Amino acid sequence: MSKSTFPKLLICQLAVTLISCSLLPVNISTASAQQSQKQQHSLQAVSTIPKSIELLEQREFYRPSPVAEAAMQQLVNIGKPAVPQLIAAFKQNRGFLTIGVGKTLSKIAQKDSSVRQVLIDKLGDKNTQIRFGAIIALDDDSFEAALKKATTNKNLRIRSGAILALGLDGNKASVLPLFEKALQDKDASIHRSAAISLASTSEKSDEVVKILKNGLKDEDSIIRVVSASLLVEMDSQTASATPILIKAAENKNSVIRLIAFKSLLQVNQNNFEILPVIIKAMEDEDSAVRYMAINRISKSGKSGKETIPALIKALDDKNGNIRSAAIYALGNMGADAITAKPKLVAILQNKQESDEIRGSAAMALGEMGKDAASTVPVLMNILEDEQSTKQLAVSSAIALDKIDAQALIPALVKRLPDKQMEVASTAMLGRIASKMKENKDSFSDAQLASAISEFETALKIIDNSENEIPKDKVAALRESVAALKG
């Protein structure tokens, strides 16, 4: 998720604060006898819609995975027949899914203007999540004219939602006059929407701040958290906003929890006053919230060691991104996370797990240094196994370099004849030789003799290789070996 996405989420959440009014019914037609062959083909794919929608939630560190991208394209190809189920998916109240569905609907609406109107009408829906999702879906320049028109709609929800959707683009000169005019509107929901949109453009006028400050006292908890979050974004009233954000971190709306938690981290980015909130968020039912909490811990290093039990528990999370983030966080804690060693070894040996996650587990063990010496045989087996992928083998080698570099040398020499490993092995042997050269006096004569022998064997293999190994890496290894022999 990009840095700019969270302000967008903050803006979108104001949709739930608008006054109650009904939505005009919207009927989306499916098939007809006169449909073209292309439309008939789309209808045949309707049965795949539910599964494709679920796949939209799959992420790779806040980015849609290739599987999610493929599912999105399939839904876009189906087009309008997929729209009702996509809109209904907003009700599932899951952050990453909401974003994926919104993006998919946006692409469909860009191809079909009738879907664009459906989304604008959904800005007035009675369901909070649907209104929120419609705002996300309408976040595209191609909808600007339609949204401007919607700001004059008789339905207050649609008017406010349109203002918010226009506000997602930030500093856009073509809509700023509209926001400024709406700020003076007699209806509270309209001028509140305008204040939020202006705040997203970095507008910090006294009037905007005043409206947001008043929002901290609003009866609606959603208004309070949106106002608090934006005040934090503006670096204003953080002391009064923090208690509201802490309470909002337990809101039943998962996206509200996500917003509140993100803002709390911004307020407390250099300390752990909100540690209990972070630990609780690590077990949130929404994967987006769990990921954010664990990602925050991963940046804290050893200062977050109180979270180790929760991180170890997260290693069993069904979401691969959560497991990966937990592994990374544990790795950043180094030897302090030694209690996670058995679990990390189990992940490393699990061939059903992805190579990326297995490799991360290996590197986390490496960060424990000599305290993880008992894992050397496991890491060595993976490195020496010709069936291991390059990614997994290199990750194991990097870990071994930090745990027992002397034991790593012969294993790297053994992998040199392997085309997929020869460049990586040469580079790592060069780094090890360089470190030994710099600390030559700390090694015994026997250790030096053994290492030099292995390095010379490596150079012979490299010299006889038919492949091109970068000359600078070979030269670096040769130079260090010569220095060790001198």
Which sequence spans correspond to the domains of the chain?
A: 1-29+36-203, 206-267, 275-403, 410-486
Q: Which two tokens stand for residue 212?
A: 């947001």
pTM across the whole model: 0.73
In this structure, what DSSP letter does residue 187 have? Answer: S
Helix, strand or coil, per DSSP, at residue 3:
coil
CA 151, distance to chain mean position in Å, is 33
Pairing label, strands 59-60, 63-64: antiparallel
Domain 275-403 is found in CATH 1.25.10.10: yes
Write the Ramachandran bin of 209: left for phi over 0, alpha for psi from -120 to 50, otherwise beta: alpha
Distance CA 49, CA 112 (A): 18
Distance CA 403, CA 398 (A): 9
CB of 426 closer than 8 Å to CB of 458:
yes
pLDDT of residue 336: 94
Would 1-29+36-203 and 275-403 be classified into the same CATH topology?
A: yes
pLDDT of residue 13: 42
Helix, strand or coil, per DSSP, at residue 300:
coil
Q: Residue 319: is it exposed, middle or buried by C-beta count within 10 angstroms (0-12/13-18/19+)?
A: middle
CB of 282 closer than 8 Å to CB of 293:
yes
CB of 239 closer than 8 Å to CB of 30:
no
In this structure, what DSSP letter does residue 152 have? Answer: T
Distance CA 241, CA 222 (A): 13
Helix (H) or strand (E) holding 188: helix 188-200
CB of 26 closer than 8 Å to CB of 182:
no
Beta strands in 68-215 (DSSP E): none
Q: Which fold has domain 1-29+36-203?
A: Leucine-rich Repeat Variant (1.25.10)
pLDDT of residue 62: 56
Amino acid, res. 67: V
End-to-end Cα spacing for the chain? 53
pLDDT of residue 93: 86
Backbone angles phi, psi at 63, to 5 degrees: -105, 145
Distance CA 399, CA 482 (A): 26
pLDDT tens sequence for the chain (486 residues): 344 444 444 444 433 333 232 222 333 333 333 444 555 554 556 788 999 999 998 876 556 788 999 999 999 999 999 999 999 999 998 888 988 999 999 999 999 999 999 999 999 998 888 998 999 999 899 999 999 999 999 999 999 899 988 987 655 678 888 888 888 888 887 877 888 788 777 667 787 788 888 878 776 666 677 778 888 877 766 777 788 888 888 888 787 888 888 888 777 655 566 788 888 899 999 888 898 888 888 777 666 778 999 999 999 999 888 999 999 999 999 999 999 999 999 999 999 999 999 999 999 999 999 999 999 999 999 999 989 999 999 999 999 999 999 999 999 999 999 999 999 999 999 999 999 999 999 999 999 999 999 999 999 999 999 888 999 999 999 999 999 998
Amino acid, res. 233: E
Helix, strand or coil, per DSSP, at residue 433:
helix
Calculate the alpha carbon distances from 309 to 277, 279, 314, 360, 374 in Å: 15, 10, 9, 19, 21
Helix, strand or coil, per DSSP, at residue 63:
strand
Distance CA 303, CA 276 (A): 14
Helix, strand or coil, per DSSP, at residue 5:
helix
Q: CATH number of the domain at 206-267, out of 1.10.1580, 1.25.10, 2.60.40, 1.10.150?
A: 1.25.10
Helix, strand or coil, per DSSP, at residue 64:
strand
